[in-house]
């Protein structure tokens, strides 16, 4: 199974500042035939299901604010929130769908400093 | 509008059985790949099982041989039959609609399963 490891486990950022969350996969999740990374990011607020933010490592889901961006390829990926808003407080998960079983990172809890 | 509504959770004794349902609207379950993902209290997300549009099914090692995923096309509903339940199966169970490239586009609100004596 592919292991997804996020860092840090928790993060406190001031309003308006940048937040960066990292995700590393135990093997490459880049499909060479399509040049696509099978990596998604989700946001989960308390008592709610996860919400898709980013897919193919860098494509923003429709309706997601443009302060959210994803980058990376192969085994190393990053989710960046360019200017933290109060409503961004949540737990963020990376997810690989390159191979079955698909697997999630352990989550990163983002709070306001 | 896509909607997924889970039901069937509850308190069950170890060794017992439950069947979870996920009623879908706004799309056809049999034309999509559908998964169950669970989340133990205060923990992260764990994939449980998937059924592809062609009918192939896969399971996490932790539930293989105990859980069965299925769908009823006439009811546009996904199911998860859970047998021989253990305390470690306690979690909120979400059904999720997968895009063909694997990410989960839509999630239900979840149903809580508590395995305890």
Chain A residues with CB under 8 Å of B50 CB are 100, 102
Residues facing residue B6 across a β-bridge:
B22
Residue partners of A62: CB distance under 8 A and separation at least 6: none
Q: How far B22 CA lies from chain A's nearest CA (Å)?
A: 14
- Alpha-carbon distance A51 to A77, whole Å? 18
**Quick one: pLDDT at residue B101?**
86
Q: What pLDDT shows up at residue B63?
A: 98
Strand, coil or helix: what is B109?
A: coil
Cβ burial of A100 (10 Å; 0-12, 13-18, 19+) is middle
What pLDDT is recorded for position B100? 85
Tokens encoding B102: 């694997």
Distance of CA B49 to the CA centre of its chain: 7
User: Hey, how many other C-beta atoms are within 10 angstroms of the C-beta on A55?
Assistant: 25
Does residue A70 sit in helix, strand or coil? strand
Contact B15, B117 (CB under 8 A): no
Residue B32's pLDDT is what?
A: 93
Say if the Cβ atoms of A107 and B45 lie within 8 Å.
yes
Nearest to A107 among B44, B60, B94 (CB): B44
Question: In this predicted model, what pLDDT tens digit does every residue of B32-59 receive, in sequence order?
Answer: 999 999 999 999 999 999 999 999 999 9
> Can you give the pLDDT at residue B106?
96
Percent above pLDDT 90 for chain B: 97
Contacts A42 to B, Cβ<8 Å: 45, 104
In angstroms, what separates the C-alpha of A17 from chain B's closest C-alpha? 26
Q: Within chain A, which residues score under 70 in pLDDT?
A: none
Nearest to B102 among A49, A51, A102 (CB): A102
How many CB atoms sit inside 10 A of residue B16's CB?
Answer: 14
Residue B102 pLDDT: 87
Q: Provide the pairing of β-strand A51-55 with A39-44.
A: antiparallel
SS3 state of residue B29: helix
Q: Is A98 on the interface with B (CB under 8 A)?
A: yes
List pLDDT tens digits, range B89-111: 999 999 999 988 889 999 999 99
Backbone angles phi, psi at B70, to 5 degrees: -155, 175
Q: Is the model's pLDDT at B31 over the cut of 90?
A: yes
**CA atoms within a 13 Å half-sphere pointing along the CA-CB vector of B38:** 22
Residue with tokens 């590393």: A24
pLDDT at site A17? 98
- Show which of residues 19-48 on chain A sit within 8 Å of chain B, judged by CB atoms: 36, 38, 40, 42, 44, 48
Structure tokens at A65: 């604010």
Q: What is the pLDDT of residue B95?
A: 98
A7 vs A23: CA distance, rounded Å? 6
pLDDT at B23: 98
In this structure, are residues B60 and A101 in contact, taking their beta carbons and an 8 Å threshold? Answer: yes
């Amino acid at each position: 199974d592919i292991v997804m490891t996020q860092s840090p486990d928790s993060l406190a950022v001031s309003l308006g500042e940048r937040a960066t969350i990292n995700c590393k996969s135990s093997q490459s999740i880049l499909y060479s035939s399509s040049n696509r990374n099978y990596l998604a990011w989700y946001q989960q607020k308390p008592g709610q299901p996860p919400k898709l933010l980013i897919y193919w490592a860098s494509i923003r889901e429709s309706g997601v604010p443009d302060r959210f961006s994803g980058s990376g390829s192969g085994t190393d990926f990053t989710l960046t929130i360019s200017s933290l808003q109060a409503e961004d407080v949540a737990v963020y998960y990376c997810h690989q769908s390159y191979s079955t079983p698909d697997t999630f990172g352990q989550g990163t809890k983002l709070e306001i400093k | 509008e896509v909607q997924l509504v889970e039901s069937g959770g509850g308190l069950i004794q170890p060794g017992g059985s439950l069947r979870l349902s996920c009623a879908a609207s706004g799309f056809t379950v049999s034309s999509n790949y559908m998964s169950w993902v669970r989340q133990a209290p205060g923990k992260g997300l764990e994939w449980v099982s998937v059924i592809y549009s062609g009918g192939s099914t896969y399971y996490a090692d932790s539930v293989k041989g105990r859980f069965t995923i299925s769908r009823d096309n006439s009811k546009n509903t996904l199911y998860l039959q859970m047998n021989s339940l253990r305390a470690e199966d306690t979690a909120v169970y979400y059904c999720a609609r997968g895009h063909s490239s694997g990410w989960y586009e839509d999630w239900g609100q979840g149903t809580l399963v508590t395995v305890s004596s």
